[in-house]
Amino acid sequence: MTFKQLKVAVYADGADKNEMISEYKKGYVSGFTTNPSLMKKAGVTDYVSFAKEVCEAIPDLPLSFEVFGDDFDTMEKEAKVIAALGKNVFVKIPIMLTDGTSTAPLIKKLSDAGIQLNVTAIFTVAQVKAAVHAFKKGTKNIVSVFAGRLADAGTDPIPVMKKTCKICKSKPGTLSLWASTRELFNLVEADRIGCDIITVPNSVLAKIPGMGKTPMQGSKDTVLTFAKDIKDLGFSILK
């Protein structure tokens, strides 16, 4: 399968402003997601300034920015600040607080207020149902299931993702998202099961130009790489 054959929307996952703009200009992606961990990795020091600059540079694609709070009152205030950044902005709300409390009541309150949400850190079908149930009819929202982290724990993410897609389709305007992508083939998997979106780190996005390469091409390219590295080593087995 080639990239152009994919029906699933590919979002870039990162928080380096320059890299985000670079991916935007390449034209492969149709949206962007960020999170606190990615901001820490990228060295972001001023959240609001970073978000405003990204919104100015990427005004016509969906952008997801996450709240930092761990209580409903703080999260609600932060959500309003983030939502005000632009009509293309989705506010990321974790499905639970650090003490395990479900954020479904807050999700409902924010959705009722017309704020576009991206509910994140979801791992179970029950969490998917809780989020979708809390969305107000007629609003646009995203449900982010961490398929890659499920796989990291030895759990097959496909059954969860299939059910997620079905549940999301039950409420118009709700989009299913495959999160924590680990490899390029995840794009194919997400596409096969009907996911609306897959969010992809730059390390995987870099492999898109090679998508659709035949096995024989892959074999030859590998041998050529070996040959180049052998030459660079500058020594031989036989004396």
Q: Is the dihedral of CA 155, 37, 205, 231 positive or negative?
A: negative
Closest to 202 in 3D by CA, of 40, 65, 20, 27: 20
Distance CA 162, CA 7 (A): 16
Six-digit token string for 74: 């703080």
Contacts of 84 (CB under 8 A, 6+ apart): none
H-run or E-run covering 122: strand 117-122
* Contact present, 142 and 117 (Cβ < 8 Å): yes
The SS3 call for residue 56 is helix
* Contact present, 198 and 178 (Cβ < 8 Å): yes
Closest to 198 in 3D by CA, of 149, 151, 147, 129: 147
Query: Which entry of 87, 92, 109, 239 is annotated as an active-site residue?
Result: 92
DSSP one-letter code for 166: H
Distance CA 75, CA 65 (A): 12
For this structure, is 92 an active site residue? yes
Give catalytic residues, as residue numbers.
Answer: 92
